[in-house]
Amino acid sequence: MNKVWSVVAGTSGILCQQSSELKTLSKETKLRVCASAGVKQKAKLTAWHQLAMKSKLQLTWSQARSQKRFLKEVGVEYDSEMKERKLRDTPIH
């Protein structure tokens, strides 16, 4: 396939051509392509985001922990709870 892309797009345009083709694929197909290439798509929540989410949803620490366990299973990464608790205790200037 790279030979076809180099003829159509030239050697400098191969990456552009590949990214354009990936954009046209369905989400399911993109995930399969990324999985076969060893690329994992993950979201990362910082301690600030974690604390804001906990506050907005009015969760206790144990409820937030349960929610984190569930979201970790679907690929969301978190900062440690210790960082979150330290941030909570930091005064706002």
pLDDT digits (tens, 9 = 90+) for 49-69: 888 888 888 888 888 888 888
Domain count for the chain? 2
The verdict on 30 and 49 lying in the same domain is: no
Q: Which residues pair with 59 in a beta bridge?
A: none
Q: What is the mean pLDDT of residues 82-92?
A: 84
- Domain residues for the domain of 55 are 43-89
Quick one: pLDDT at residue 75?
74
The verdict on 59 and 32 lying in the same domain is: no
| Mean predicted lDDT score pLDDT of the chain | 77
Q: How far apart are CA 56 and CA 25, in angstroms?
A: 36
Residue pair 59/67 in contact (Cβ under 8 Å)? The answer is yes
Residue 91: DSSP 8-state: P
